Amino acid sequence: MSVIKAENISFVYSPGTAFEKKALDNVSFEIEEGEFVGIIGHTGSGKSTLVQLLNGLLRPSAGKIYLDGKDIWEKPKKIRNVRFRVGMVFQYPEYQLFEETVYKDISFGPGNMGLDEEETDKRVRKAAEFTGLKEELLEVSPFDLSGGEKRRAAIAGVIAMDPDVLILDEPTAGLDPLGREALLSQIADYHKVRKNTVMLVSHSMEDIAAIADRILVMAKGKKYMLDSTANVFAKGDELEKLGLKVPQVTKIMMMLRKKGINVDPAVLTVDQGFNEILNCLSAR
Amino acid sequence: MVRDITLGQFMPGTSVIHRLQARTKIILLIALIVFIFLCKNFISLLLITLFSLLTILMTRISFFKYLKSLRVILFIIIITGLFNLFYGSGVILWQWWQLTITLGGVYNALFVIVRIALLMMVSAVLTYTTSPTDLTDALERLMKPLTVFHVKVHEIAMMMTIALRFIPVLLEETDKIMNAQKARGADMESGGIIKRVKALIPVLIPLFVSSFRRASDLAMAMECRCYNGGKGRTKMKVSHFKLNDLFAAIISVTVFAGVIVCNILFPAVI
Amino acid sequence: MKDFIKIENLYFQYESSEENENRSYALSGVDLTINKGEFVAIVGHNGCGKSTLAKHLNSIYLPTTGDVTVNGINTKDDDRIFEIRKTVGLVLQNPDNQIVAGIVEEDVAFGCENIGVEQKEIRKRVDNALKAVDMYDYRLHSPDKLSGGQKQRIAIAGIIAMEPECIVLDEPTAMLDPQGRDEVMNTILRLNKEMGITIILITHFMEEAVLAGRVIVMDSGKVLLDGTPKKVFSQVELMKKHRLSVPQATELIYRLRNCGYELPDCVLDEEECVQALEKLLK
C-alpha cells in the first residue's frame, strides 16, 4: 500500500481576495513506502505548497490526502499527529533554531510528542549521528555553530521525531559544493539505514540525480510527470523547456544525440557519462 | 495567515485627493481635526460632517473601506458615547436608580460619537490616498524646523522608511518560522494564556536573531552606498506645491471659516 | 590603467573574543593586482577568506597588516573613504537585506542621494541604472513582490547608479534559483562588456567562474591559483586535492584524456566538450 496518496488536490491562496492565487491544480499521485522521491519544479510551480499540504500545515481547498490509507484531515484536531509522522524540513531550516543548546533544540520535537526523557535522549543522539553532528556540539549554543552545522542541527530536529516520511525543502540551498555534497550523502545514508520514505524538493537536478528513485516534476501548479529518475532525465529537452536546468553532463549527452551520436541521454553524473563514452568508444 | 495583513493601507489611485501633495494633506488634516473638535452646535457640526463626507467621496474609495476603519475603535466609540450619555447636565429625560440621562448628556454623546467617527475616517483619507514613502518624506520636510531643537528629523524619517520596508519581510519570516515550529509539533492554538505565551518563545527568539542579522547586513549595505546620515544628502524626488494644493487649501479654509461663523451665529449646545 | 586595485601582503584577523584568543588569520598573505575592466572570479570553500577579501576592497574591513589601495588611495585613509566606496561598489549575498526603500526606484536612488548628486542627475542615473539591469518596467513596484533574481538586480542597479568603476559581488547568486542565477550572471557580463565596469565576482559555482576572464582560487586565506579559466581548471588534480570541483564538462574530458584519448587539454563548457567528443566519436 502507498504511504502517501494525493487525490485531486488543489490549493488556492487567500481565496476571495484580490490576492487570490491558485497554487495547485488537481494533483494526484501515490508514493510507496521506502521510496526516495525527488520533487523538482521552477519557482512558483507549486512544489513548496504541495509539501506543506502533505504534512498538514496547509489544508487543501479541494481533494484528499491519505497517509497509510487514512484521510489526514479526518480529525482536524489530531493534525499534529500527522505532522509527527510526516516530518518537514523547511528551506533555510537554521532560522528556526531557538534553544540554549543544540541538544535542547533537537529535543523540541520529541518533547512535543510527549516522549519520556530516556527515549528523547536516544533519539536526539541518533539524529545527531545521522546528520553528522559531533557529540561535543550538542552542548553548544546553536547560534555558535557554523552555517553548515546549524543546517545539520535543524535537520536533526526533524529527524529526531523519527518520521515515517521525511520531506526536505531545498536542504542544500546556500551551501557551498562541499557542504552540499556531504549533506546529500548523509541524507542518502539516513534513508538507507532508516528505510523510510524521503521526499526531497529541489530546483537543482544535480542534487536529486544521484539519489532519487523517482522524480515528480511540477509545472504551473500541476503534476507534469512522475517517473523513474532515468526516464525523467531522458526527457531533458522537455525539462529545459519548463525552465529547469539539467546537469551539464546530461546536457552534453543530449547535444551529442542531436549530432547523431547514439549515446544514452539518461546520464546523470560524470561517472555515468565517462562510462557511457567509453562504452561508445569500445563499441566502435 | 500573518502574511495577509495589509500594512499602510495605501490604496493607489488617481483621484483629486490622491494627487494632492502629502504635505498639503497632512496640514489640512490636522486643521480639519482641530475644527471637528471646535464645533459647538449642530449647524457647524453638520457643515464639517458634510465637508468630510465630500472629501471621502472624492477619494473614489468605497465607503465601506472607511466604515471598516471604524470597526477597530467601535468599542471605544460605544464606551465613550455611553459615558457621556450618563454624565450630562440639563433637562432630565430619564432616570433609574443612580443613572440619569439628560438632554445635555444626549448632546454630548452625539457629539463625541460623531467627532471620533469623523476623526478616524478623515485620518483614513490620508493613509488610504498617500503612499507610505510620500508620507515619510512629507513628515521629514514638515518636521525639518525641529532640527533647531536637536530633533534628529532625518534619522527618524530613515527609521520609518526602513521599518516600512522591513515590516512585510519580517511578517513573512514570522509566518515561515511558525510553520517550521508547527512542523516540529509546536502547539500554538490551544491552552491557557501562559501556555500560549510560552509557545511563542520558539517563534520570537529566531525572529529576533534574524532581525539582528538583517540589521547588520543592512547597515553594511548602507555603508557600501556611502550613507552618512542626513549631511549633504540630496533627494531624487522633491515635490512642490501646485495649483490643486492651493485650491484645496482655499476650499478648506472657507469651510473652516464657515464653522467659526456658525459657532458665533447659532447658540452652542455643548 | 594598470594597478587599479592593489593588494599587498594582506593579513587579516577577526577581532578575537575572550574564548578564542588564538584565532587564525582569515587572510594570510594575499598579494593581488586587479586591472581596470577585468572580470575576475574568486572561488573557494566557505571560510577560505574570499568574502573577507571582498570586504577589504571598499574599506568595510581594514587590513590587520598589509595594504589595499584603490586608484592609489589606501583603504585605511579615513578621509577618502567615500571616494573609495564611490569607486568600488559592493553587492551582498542576501538580496532582501540590502534594499533600503519601499519603492524600487527610490532604493536605486539611495546611494546617489547619499553622495549628494544633483536632483535632475539622480533621475537620469536611476533610469539608466534600471535599464542597465533590465528592471526599468518595475521602477514603481515594491521590492517585496519581486523574485530573488529581480531583487538582486535592483541591488546591482543601486550600485551602478553611483557610477562606480568596479563592482564587487559577494556570492550574489547563492540564494537564487537557476533562473535568477542566469538573470544576475547575464547582467554582470553585460556590465563588464558594455559599460567596461571592472567586476569581481565571489562565487562557489564553477559554471559562473568559467565565464570570467580570470579566476582566482583561494584556500585557507591564501591565493592557491590565479589565471585564465583554462589555466586554472586544467589543474584538475590540484583542484581535487583541495576538494574543489571543476565544471562537469572539464572533468569528463580530463578523465577521458587520462585514458589516453586524444582530446584538448582543457574544455570549459558544454559546447567545447561536445565539439571535442564529436571528433572522437565520429
pLDDT for C61-73, tens place per residue? Answer: 999 999 999 999 9
Long-range contacts of B7-11 (CB under 8 A, 24+ apart): B7/B164, B7/B167, B7/B168, B7/B171, B8/B127, B8/B131, B8/B132, B8/B164, B9/B124, B9/B127, B9/B128, B10/B127, B10/B128, B10/B129, B10/B130, B10/B131, B10/B132, B11/B61, B11/B65, B11/B128, B11/B129
- Which of B4, B201, B206 lies at the smallest CB-CB distance from A96? B206
Find which of A176, A240, A258 to mutate to test the C interface (most C CBs within 10 Å of its CB): A176
pLDDT at A44: 84
Residue C17: pLDDT band with limits 50, 70, 90: low
pLDDT at C22: 54
Number of structural domains chain B divides into: 1
Query: Dihedral through CA A111, CA A115, CA A117, CA A121, nearest 10?
Result: -80
Q: Look-up: residue for cell 547597515?
A: B219
Q: Minimal Cα–Cα distance from A173 to chain C, Å?
A: 7
- Would residue B270 count as lying in a domain? no
pLDDT for A159-188, tens place per residue? Answer: 999 999 999 999 998 888 888 889 999 999
In chain B, what is the straight-line distance between the N-terminal and C-terminal CA atoms, in Å? 46
- Which of C60, C99, C102 lies at the smallest CB-CB distance from B224? C60
In angstroms, the CA A147 to CA C93 distance is 14
Find which of C70, C110, C139 to mutate to test the B interface (most B CBs within 10 Å of its CB): C110
Under 8 Å between Cβ of A280 and A260: no
| The three three-digit cell numbers of residue C92, written as one number | 551582498
Give the chain A residue nearest B205 (alpha carbons).
A98
Q: Do C177 and A277 touch (CB under 8 A)?
A: no
**Residue C62 touches chain B, beta carbons under 8 Å:** no
- Which of C45, C204, C251 lies at the smallest CB-CB distance from A270? C251
Query: Dihedral through CA C255, CA C258, CA C262, CA C267, nearest 10?
Result: 40
Which whole number is the average pLDDT over C156-176?
A: 95
Chain A with chain B: Cβ pairs closer than 8 A:
61
**Identity of the amino acid at A57:** L
Please write down the HEC assignment for all residues of B21-90.
CHHHHHHHHHHHHHHHHHCCCHHHHHHHHHHHHHHHHHCCCCHHHHHHHHHCCHHHHHHHHHHHHHCCCC
pLDDT for A138-148, tens place per residue? Answer: 999 999 998 88
Which whole number is the average pLDDT over C152-179?
A: 94
Q: Taking 80 as the threshold, does the pLDDT of residue A264 lie above it?
A: yes
Q: Taking 80 as the threshold, does the pLDDT of residue C252 lie above it?
A: yes
How much is the mean pLDDT over chain A?
Answer: 91
Which whole number is the average pLDDT over B177-194?
A: 87
Q: In the complex, which subunits touch C with 3 or more CB pairs below 8 angstroms?
A: A, B
Q: Do A148 and C46 touch (CB under 8 A)?
A: yes
Q: Do B165 and C102 touch (CB under 8 A)?
A: yes
Residues of A in contact with B205 (CB under 8 A): 98
pLDDT at A43: 85
Q: CA separation (Å) from B250 to B57, B65, C208?
A: 19, 28, 62
Q: Do B206 and A95 touch (CB under 8 A)?
A: yes
Residues of B in contact with C117 (CB under 8 A): 234
**Residue C45 touches chain A, beta carbons under 8 Å:** yes
| The three three-digit cell numbers of residue A188, written as one number | 542518502
Q: Taking 50 as the threshold, does the pLDDT of residue A109 lie above it?
A: yes
Q: Do A43 and C175 touch (CB under 8 A)?
A: no
**Single pTM value for the model:** 0.87
How much is the mean pLDDT over chain C?
Answer: 91
Find which of B236, B238, B239 to mutate to test the C interface (most C CBs within 10 Å of its CB): B236
Q: Do A177 and C252 touch (CB under 8 A)?
A: no
Alpha helices in chain B (DSSP H): 16-19, 22-38, 42-58, 63-71, 74-86, 103-129, 132-143, 153-183, 193-224, 243-265
Could you list the residue range(s) of the whole structural domain that residue B213 is in?
2-265
In angstroms, the CA C130 to CA A232 distance is 39
**Residue C128 touches chain B, beta carbons under 8 Å:** no
Q: Which residues of A touch B (CB under 8 A)?
A: 14, 17, 19, 52, 55, 57, 80, 83-84, 87-88, 90, 93, 95-98, 108-109, 112-113, 143, 157-158, 161
Contacts (Cβ under 8 Å, ≥6 apart) of A123: A107, A110, A115, A160, A161, A162
Q: Do A87 and B177 touch (CB under 8 A)?
A: no
**Residue C64 touches chain B, beta carbons under 8 Å:** no
Residue B85: pLDDT band with limits 50, 70, 90: confident
Find which of C146, C176, C270 to mutate to test the A interface (most A CBs within 10 Å of its CB): C270
Q: What is the distance of C-alpha B176 from the center of its chain?
A: 29
Q: Minimal Cα–Cα distance from C174 to chain B, Å?
A: 15
DSSP label of A135: G
Which whole number is the average pLDDT over B138-164?
A: 89
Q: Taking 60 as the threshold, does the pLDDT of residue B2 lie above it?
A: no
Alpha helices in chain A (DSSP H): 47-54, 79-85, 102-106, 108-113, 117-130, 147-159, 177-194, 205-209, 229-234, 236-241, 248-258, 270-283
- Would residue B156 count as lying in a domain? yes
pLDDT at B5: 42
* Range of weakest confidence among A117-131, A232-246, B204-218: A232-246
Give the chain C residue nearest A253 (alpha carbons).
C274
Look up the CATH number of domain C5-246: 3.40.50.300
pLDDT at B191: 76
Report domain extents, chain C.
5-246, 247-282
DSSP label of A220: T
Neighbours of B161 (CB within 10 A): 21
| The three three-digit cell numbers of residue A284, written as one number | 566502435
pLDDT for B23-70, tens place per residue? Answer: 999 999 999 999 999 998 999 999 999 999 999 999 999 898 888 888
Q: Taking 60 as the threshold, does the pLDDT of residue B128 lie above it?
A: yes
- Would residue B138 count as lying in a domain? yes
pLDDT at C20: 52
Residue B6: pLDDT band with limits 50, 70, 90: very low
- Would residue B179 count as lying in a domain? yes
